[in-house]
Structure 1
Amino acid sequence: MRPPSPPRPLAFTTLDSLAAFLGTRLPATALASWGTVPGTKTLLNLFLELSQGDCVLVPAEPPQHPVVRAVHVATVRIRNRRGALLVETRQLLSDGTLRARGARPLSEKMRPGETPEAAAARAVHEELGERVRVRILGGAEPRVEERESLSYPGLYARYVLHAVDAELVVGVLDEGEFETEEAGEHEDEVEVEGGGGAITVKRHYWKWVDDNEVAGGAEGERQRQSAH
């Protein structure tokens, strides 16, 4: 017997069609919070993600949620000479919000047909800078996390996480803390009538941590996510 086919992604040609679709499936209070509650993104952000292939919306199976945002993410575990891990602690968003990130390694949404290694290299270029060089060492089997999206409250999300290990070669401080400008997001320059501008990351804040610090930060991040 042939296994059932996976659900086909939903397609939206206009911002209005996406708004109409979500308006009948998500609570009005949740949609109203998008782009207004600090740390969230706008409907235009989601529309651009869908248009660029950064994520897809699919019907949930089983349908305990009306729709699921599915995202493939490359998580880049960069280590320095002594084995410390580079993590992002905060992000400065285009609306002026400082969004806490816990102790989260560099990560990037993968594009259609992109390998985890290629997404990792793009993430280094866009978030750490053109001068930064890392040595890609390989990856691990992907794992799946499912939870309500923090960027889009009320929308359930499925993250397929592809871990990629790397070593820092040159380009940034290899100890302590530092910050970098985002070079890969330009959605804030895009506006759609009735949709306003998208919210993007402007600046990243980084820190080298030992593995025991990563474990503590990850637990705190899980607690914050469960609270939402």
Structure 2
Amino acid sequence: MTLPPPRLPAVKLTGAFLSSIFPSPSHPDLLLLFAAALSFFFVCKNTSSSPPSLLQLRRRSLSSPSMTRPPPPPPATIAFSSPESLSDWLKTRLPHGALSSWGVSPGTKTIQNLWIELSQGETSLLLPSPPDEVATEFDAVPLRAVNVATVWIRNGRGSVLVESHQLLSDGSVRHRGRPLSEKMRPGETVEEAARRAVEEELGTVADGRVRIVPGSYNVRVEEKSSASYPGLPARYVLHSVEAQVDGLPEDGEFSTEEVGEGVEGSSNGSAVFVRKHFWKWVHDYGDGHGNDYGQQQ
């Protein structure tokens, strides 16, 4: 029985093959090196996997988890059918005695005022999502959210018109110490709210011509307890613009009659409304970008 010839390693086999082609190589070392390189090429080609196709790459990218998480759900907006239902809902959520001070402590407003603000869309009551599964809506403290248009009016010397205080319908005085401001209505632009603020609070002395300074818009968010509703946290989105208003006194202090909120509030029972505004010019007030530090509404 004739045995088959022994198998040669890849390098020797390739060398034998090349020797049959080149029976008398003049450089055997070079020939052996070439054979080794050729063997390495065949081994790598047979053992390496083919690169992924474009379809495979696309499938991999689609199946990869996204690094962007969805935003948390927005807090719920609360609505009420009457001031009484609003009062009952707030009693268990505000600090003890806070609600009873509304409309009683000087400068504060009543539950009727808050209900009117909610009904007209000037204010929203937000209830943040419970932090865990154990908490319920009864554990969450409501947040009063308000968009406010703040109007910076300057005289010829660069001083800012500031409302020092207000006379309310119940005879009390509410201190302000801030530029002209107005709660914004649903769908109202900052420019529209600014012009309405001038008309309602300065209309008895201004001649109605209001020019918004281009590029003066600034917005910031501030959270604090409301001076009008003690114990109720509030978030104010302050939209500030500078405006030029004709007809205003250039010096000293002056007062104006309210022609907006006062007329509306007089027909709403126990609601407290503004009767009169008191103004003065203040030099170097704030930084000119809406960063003032007066009380909020």
User: Could you say which TM-score interval applies, normalised by the shorter chain?
Assistant: 0.7 to 0.9
Q: Deviations over 1:93-120 (max 9, x none)?
A: 0011122112x00000000111111100
Identity of matched residues, %: 56
Q: CA deviation at 1:40?
A: 0.5
Q: CA deviation at 1:171?
A: 2.1
CA 1:31–1:174: 2 relative to 1, 3 Å:
same
Contact 2:93 2:140 survives alignment (8 Å): no
Q: Aligned residue for 1:188? A: 266
Q: Deviations over 1:103-144 (max 9, x none)?
A: x00000000111111100000000000624221114433100
Q: Aligned residue for 1:74? A: 149
Q: What is the alpha-carbon distance in structure 2 between the residues aligned to residue 158 and residue 112 of structure 1?
A: 16
Q: What is the alpha-carbon distance in structure 1 between the residues aligned to residue 277 and residue 209 of structure 2?
A: 17
Q: What is the alpha-carbon distance in structure 1 between the residues aligned to residue 140 and residue 221 of structure 2?
A: 17
Larger strand percent: 1
Q: Aligned residue for 2:251? A: 175
Q: Aligned residue for 1:58? A: 126
CA 1:123–1:153: 2 relative to 1, 3 Å:
same
Contact 2:142 2:233 survives alignment (8 Å): yes
CA 1:55–1:119: 2 relative to 1, 3 Å:
same
Q: What is the alpha-carbon distance in structure 1 between the residues aligned to residue 72 and residue 118 of structure 2?
A: 24
Q: CA deviation at 1:155?
A: 0.4
CA 1:90–1:14: 2 relative to 1, 3 Å:
same
Normalising by structure 2, we get a TM-score of: 0.67
Contact 1:65 1:156 survives alignment (8 Å): no
Query: What is the one-letter code of the residue matched to 2:187?
Result: G
Q: What is the alpha-carbon distance in structure 1 between the residues aligned to residue 250 and residue 130 of structure 2?
A: 46
Question: Larger radius of gyration, structure 1 or 2?
Answer: 2
Matched, 1:85 2:163: no
> Residue 113 of structure 2: SS of its match in structure 1?
helix
Query: What is the one-letter code of the residue matched to 1:206?
Result: W
Q: Deviations over 1:6-51 (max 9, x none)?
A: 2131111111211111011113410100000001000000000000
Q: What is the alpha-carbon distance in structure 2 between the residues aligned to residue 56 and residue 118 of structure 1?
A: 20
Normalising by structure 1, we get a TM-score of: 0.86
Contact 1:10 1:58 survives alignment (8 Å): yes
Match of 1:136 among 212, 219, 226: 212
Matched, 1:127 2:201: yes
The correspondence of residues 201-220 of structure 1 with structure 2, limited to 5 A, is 201-211=274-284, 213-214=285-286
Q: Aligned residue for 1:155? A: 232
Contact 1:74 1:120 survives alignment (8 Å): yes
Query: What is the one-letter code of the residue matched to 2:168?
Result: L
Query: What is the one-letter code of the residue matched to 2:70?
Result: R
Q: CA deviation at 1:157?
A: 0.3
Q: CA deviation at 1:205?
A: 0.5
Q: What is the alpha-carbon distance in structure 2 between the residues aligned to residue 61 and residue 92 of structure 1?
A: 39
Query: What is the one-letter code of the residue matched to 1:199?
Result: V
Flag structure 2 segments of 5+ consecutive residues without an equivalent. Answer: 1-68, 132-138
Identify which range, 135-144 or 153-162, moves more after superposition.
Answer: 135-144
Q: Aligned residue for 2:95? A: 27
Q: CA deviation at 1:61?
A: 5.6
- State the Cα RMSD in Å: 2.0
Q: Aligned residue for 2:44? A: none
Q: What is the alpha-carbon distance in structure 2 between the residues aligned to residue 150 and residue 62 of structure 1?
A: 27
Q: Aligned residue for 1:194? A: none
> Residue 227 of structure 2: SS of its match in structure 1?
coil
Q: Which runs of 4+ in 1 moved over 2 A?
A: 60-65, 130-134, 138-141
Identify which range, 116-125 or 139-148, moves more after superposition.
Answer: 139-148
Q: What is the alpha-carbon distance in structure 2 between the residues aligned to residue 178 and residue 134 of structure 1?
A: 19
Flag structure 1 segments of 5+ consecutive residues without an equivalent. Answer: 192-196
Q: What is the alpha-carbon distance in structure 1 between the residues aligned to residue 266 and residue 109 of structure 2?
A: 11
> Residue 105 of structure 1: SS of its match in structure 2?
strand
> Residue 29 of structure 1: SS of its match in structure 2?
coil
Q: CA deviation at 1:160?
A: 0.3
CA 1:53–1:89: 2 relative to 1, 3 Å:
same
> Residue 207 of structure 1: SS of its match in structure 2?
strand
Contact 1:179 1:203 survives alignment (8 Å): yes
Match of 1:118 among 188, 192, 200: 192
Match of 2:171 among 96, 108, 114: 96
Q: CA deviation at 1:55?
A: 0.5
